Amino acid sequence: MSDTVQKMPFGYEPPVDELKGTIVYYDSFEHTTERELDLAAYITKERSFRKLVLYPLHEQSLKRMTKEEVSPFYKREDRLHEWKRDRGEENVIVERLEIKRKKYTPIDSALRHLAETYPKPLFLLLTGEMANLFASYSSFEEWIVKIRLLLTEEPDRLHPRLLEYKHRWESVIQK
């Protein structure tokens, strides 16, 4: 051990970490374009977020939520990894909870996992359709006070709960 005493100058304060929280892009990524992924990465940097988490939904989750037929999870996940490699994004994570479970994962379970795993505050990036769907769930009111929503576009018809909690979300692309 060194006997040298290190001193800090009077009034020294450690530098404040400018990065905050996590943006979670919660989607099927079936029809998501590279431009939309680039927008998510841009928002993450512009707003000084620590991480961008891409959360692709399992086929079983989508089947229960939207009745939409989608390509297999691994194909959508591979596309996300390819986009991440092409862009050289280091602060992007492709979340694998749904593939580990291999079945329907309720949004409550997903949000609980995300809140426990990633730095807060937690922002959920959703399409307008997915936001309306999320607002229709009974647990929406429990979660909307803990997270904020960023919508890729504002839907033409807003769910009444989205209208009620308009102060907890914003549209990142203005019409």
Segment 90-103, tens digit of pLDDT: 899 999 887 777 77
3-class state of residue 123 by DSSP: strand
Torsion, CA 87, CA 91, CA 97, CA 100, rounded to 10: 60
> Does a cis peptide bond (omega within 30 degrees of 0) precede residue 72?
no
With tokens 């979300």, the residue in question is 169
- Residue 51 dihedral angles phi and psi, to the nearest 5°: -140, 150
pLDDT over 70 (residue 174): no
Percent of the chain at pLDDT exceeding 70: 94
Residue count of the chain, please give it.
175
Q: What are 44-102's pLDDT values in tens digits?
A: 999 999 999 999 998 888 888 887 788 998 999 999 999 999 988 889 999 988 777 77
Q: What Cα–Cα distance (Å) separates residue 75 from each residue in 2, 13, 45, 80, 155?
A: 55, 48, 27, 9, 28
Residue 92 parent element (H or E): strand 92-94
Burial (Cβ within 10 Å: 0-12, 13-18, ≥19) of residue 124: buried
Average pLDDT over residues 139-155: 92
pLDDT of residue 101: 75
> Which of 89, 59, 52, 93 lies closest to 75, judged by CA?
59
pLDDT of residue 69: 83
pLDDT of residue 9: 77
> Which of 55, 137, 130 lies closest to 98, judged by CA?
55
- Buried b / exposed e across 29-62, counting CB within 10 Å, b at 16+? bbebeeebbebbbebbeeeebbbbbbbbbbbebb
